[in-house]
Structure 1
Amino acid sequence: MEEEKVGTPSSASRGNNGSDQCPASVSPRARIVSVASNIASQPLHNSDPRVWGVLTAISNNARKRHQGINIILSADEHCLGRLVEDVRFQIDSNSVSANHCRIYRMKVTNENMENATSILLKDTSTNGTYLNWEKLKKNGAAVKVCHGDIISFAAPPQHDLAFAFVYRDVLVSSPVPDNAVVKRKAEDFISENKRLKGLGIGAPEGPISLDDFRSLQRSNTELRKQLENQVVTIDTLRSDNRTAVERHES
């Protein structure tokens, strides 16, 4: 029997990042869920406070968009579709409606009567918008979107015609103000200047020589020994005094 040849996976069987995709035995739905979970587990940081979310393509059709695989959400409301005005949010396919859906954020009051922000999705299409395999009702009530949810256009996420994306919240990173950097540098300079002046460097009379520095080290060592001896002497006197008091009281 001829020995079977085993080779490395071809580029077609690997993800865009070079990592192996799910085995062929895994169902298309499980594969989409795995890809979405992997992407959602990677935190997004952005110093721009206007950016609140990102839609990242997870299906083949969505990844072929010439605008790129990420749709950045920064306005309070975005309309996605085939003929929307902003080309960044266009999906060029006849299966996608001209104005397919709206994704937006809204201030709401939670159960604890606290103000919070919810991300909402509303379908306005002919072929449908799906949230985690649930087809939304056209012009029906908006539904809440959470980090890691899958949003699909025109067909369920695992379908060949689908344009599927995973939604991710953005963690806003607070940039360090320029004046804070200047202040920190100034403090570091002052601290360093004090340290150098402690060695005589930068003093008005000029830097000290290495011999003078070693002489100072010896003087400090001798002074420390004298202080230690003085402490021993004081402790001895206190001990002698306690002994004398005890003898007197007895």
Structure 2
Amino acid sequence: MRLNNKVAIVTGGASGIGEACVRRFHDEGAYVVVADMSEQAGDALASALDRATFYKLDVRRGILMQQMMVDIVDKYGRIDILVNNAGIDVESDELADGDEDVWHQIYAVNQQGTMLGMKYALQHMRKQGYGAILNMASAAGLVAFPGRPAYAASKAAVIQLSKVAAIENGEYNIRVNALCPGAVRTPILEAVIARAESPTEKRAAVEAMNPLPGIISVEAIASAALFLVSDEAEFISGAALPVDGGYTAR
């Protein structure tokens, strides 16, 4: 097993990409902490797995993030892996017409939540002398996404923050990477398609975005995440890996 007896935290772990990571890490032998705002979904997922724990968490609040890390170390003795997956994508306008409150809302979760997760996990990982952190960014952080300035900027910030953290913590044997998914088949994407004037045409447009056919599965993202947090990637740090069907290669 690739994560045998590792202790892994996945924020936003109750659904979508986060849930897929939780299940994949668990299948590979990890003890997994499902950290999420949704108590019902998170507790149900953790209860269905024999080596999982649910922790209710608002990633925007540093004091809660700090306490979670302390509680996990008290329970398991260490933190081997952190996946900062919690994120939102609120519908927004072009920059000139954008709502400042929406901007701050997106940044509070996507950028600040990632920063807080790293900050408080790193304090324990530095003492341990090892650790692996994976931050869920986006293809939107690598190339411009007109009409979604706040989301794109927040994910670009996650990528740059990951690179800085990789350099700052290499001497402690801590690896930090970013994963950059394209359009992934999640409940959020399905809701966007359903709200379209023509859901059939919208789905076809999403499927045609990438050189590779189809919509990316959450399992494909979880497989890439597994590789980056495993010992197989022992010399990969500071990377921003696209899993986007070739979208950013255009």
Length-normalised TM-score, structure 2: 0.25
Question: Which one scores higher on RCO, CA 8 angstroms, separation ≥ 6?
Answer: 2
Length-normalised TM-score, structure 1: 0.25
By percentage of residues, which structure has more strand? 1
